[in-house]
Amino acid sequence: MENNIPISNNEIVIETVPVKPPREYKGYETVFAWLCLFAGYLFCKSFPVRNNPLGGFILILFLFITSTVVLKVKGAKFCALPIIAAISAVLVSSALILSANRTVCFFAYAYAIVIYCYYLYAVTGNSIKKGFTDFIAIDFIKALIVMPFESLGLIFKALFSGKAKKGGKFVLKIIIGVAIAAIPTVIVLGLLSYDDNFWNLLKKIFDFDGFDIFSHITSIIFGVPVGMYLFGAFVSASDNKCSTHMTAESCSNAYQKMKIAPAVTVIAAVLPVLFLYVVFFISQWSYYMSGFTGVLPEAFSYAEYAREGFFQLCIVSVINLLIISAVIVFMRRRNKGMSVLLKIISLIFSVFTLILIATAISKLVMYIDYYGLTPKRVHAAWFMAVLAVIFILVAVKQFVKKLNVVAVSIAVLVVMFAAIAVPNTDGFIAEYNVDRYLSGTLETVDAEAMEDLGLAAVPQMVRLAEILRERGDDRELYDETMDFLQRMNRRYFSEEPDLFTYTVPYVRAGEALKNILITKKPAA
């Protein structure tokens, strides 16, 4: 490219600016581009993952294994942090085949996809700052949103690049031909489908299923954008794109510019809230202390006492976390006195919130002790425990300046999520309730509540039915349990499942139902 630059005396200097040659893709990158398209197809084929958990788990393994091989061939340096992140993603995603809880499966799958993008980003040396720092939150934003879209359309150049160009064009011609033939083939097929002999012959030859064909075609079409996203993340990370955007220096400068609130303004904003907390604790002291003593207040049932104000306390805890975050981000700290003030405010809010969390958990424990466990109660307790740990970290930060609260909070959240997702918590809930009933500490087993646990509850309900049958007592509960098992049998075992739906809870439930003489419908 040439630029004409005029100078004095009517002279013209021609400056030559080198034109950057187009990127050449190596053979393994072309192969990886095709693998990204296949991963996109697999992603769509297993969607929604709550119905196809095994497919989702296979996709996660496929992505990490193929990407690791390609990155190794490329010569990437594998540091400790991205490796640990990848291991955590595979471990958490195992919940897809170990747990029957659909909500847990969704978040486990989402976490694994997020970590995969971060893995590509970090292994290729794009991290804003080395080590486990608070900048990791910005790294996630770049890895998920910025980098993939920076190279979104490059997958098509990679598919037909270098030595693969000729072969790629050949494959493309075949794909175009098949696509052109699809419409007339479907029309002809529909016109000739009236003939039973013709249709049965097609079934014998191709094991033909029109819905399956439509499903495959749809997955291929919608899998292309997914493949573009995955390959875009890989190319941007490999080429270290966007290295000048969202750097450590620019993020630090932006953070400093956000500190616009004077200390007086901050104090005026937080004092009314703190005053309300003091009045609240004084007025409700005996009411909330009942949760710690295990004594139910008068005129309250266990359910009413547990629910009264519980969700409000949860919301207040989240609001307090937002208040602390806002104070830390926006409050000016021009001298040591302002820093001390910030520590005092953060510490007071943390202590008050921890008291609120403790009272909420104590009420929930009383509720569980009387009525047993359900997924909602376990998840509520887990959420409050996560908040408690985060506020403890905020309080510790006031004394340990080097503590990276954001990074450590992310790590704690991952560990605690893995603890509730991987071990099949729903199966534990069912076992806990059955054991409590059999030991006489729980009045009954709610079969309707067990239905929320799905397949995870089946083995324990089979155990309960067998014991009740041997005892010959509580005929009503026995009938409810058998009705529950029959419903589970019809819902999950009335026909042969798709391969991607197989999970450990599914297999265990099937074996348990056989033991109680509930037979599955034979496969066609």
pLDDT value at residue 57: 92
| Adjacent-strand bridge partners of 15 | 3
pLDDT value at residue 511: 86
Decide: 165 and 246 in contact? Cβ < 8 Å.
no
Distance (Å, whole) CA 68 – CA 375: 36
Query: SS3 for 2?
Result: strand
* pLDDT averaged per 10 residues in sequence order, the chain, 524 residues: 52 56 78 89 86 89 92 86 91 90 90 93 86 83 89 84 57 64 67 61 53 72 89 88 79 81 81 80 60 54 58 80 84 72 84 85 81 87 91 88 86 91 89 90 82 88 88 83 88 75 85 67 38
Decide: 378 and 429 in contact? Cβ < 8 Å.
yes
Select from 391, 351, 380, 364 the least CA-distant residue to 288: 364
Tally of CA atoms within 13 A in the half-sphere of 407 that contains its CB = 15
What are the boundaries of each domain within the chain?
A: 23-244, 258-420, 425-515
Q: Which residue has the tokens 């007071």?
A: 348
pLDDT value at residue 359: 80
Decide: 278 and 165 in contact? Cβ < 8 Å.
no
DSSP sequence for 242-291: TTTSS-HHHHHHHHHHT--B-HHHHHHHHHHHHHHHHHHHHHTHHHHHHH
pLDDT value at residue 519: 43
Q: Which residue has the tokens 């496929």?
A: 62
Residue 167 is which amino acid? G
Distance (Å, whole) CA 359 – CA 343: 24
| Adjacent-strand bridge partners of 261 | 331
Residue 223 is which amino acid? G
Distance (Å, whole) CA 171 – CA 338: 67
pLDDT value at residue 382: 92
Select from 433, 424, 309 the least CA-distant residue to 369: 433
3-class DSSP string for 37-96? HHHHHHHHHCCCCCCCHHHHHHHHHHHHHHHHHHHHHHCCCCCHHHHHHHHHHHHHHCHH
Cα dihedral angle (39, 40, 43, 44), rounded to 10 degrees?
A: -140
DSSP sequence for 391-409: HHHHHHHTT-TT--HHHHH
Select from 192, 308, 325, 303 the least CA-distant residue to 258: 325
Residue 387 is which amino acid? L
pLDDT value at residue 204: 55
Cα-only R_g, the chain: 30
Question: Which pTM value belongs to this model?
Answer: 0.78
Distance (Å, whole) CA 381 – CA 364: 7
Decide: 467 and 438 in contact? Cβ < 8 Å.
yes
List, in order, residues 6 or more apart from 499 with CB less than 8 Å away: 54, 55
The CB density around residue 282, as the number of other CB atoms within 10 Å, is 8
pLDDT value at residue 192: 62
For residue 515, which phi and psi values (nearest 5 degrees)?
-65, -25
User: How many whole angstroms from its chain centre is CA 129?
Assistant: 25
Dihedral sign, CA of 456, 458, 464, 470?
Answer: negative
469, burial (CB in 10 Å: exposed 0-12, middle 13-18, buried 19+): middle
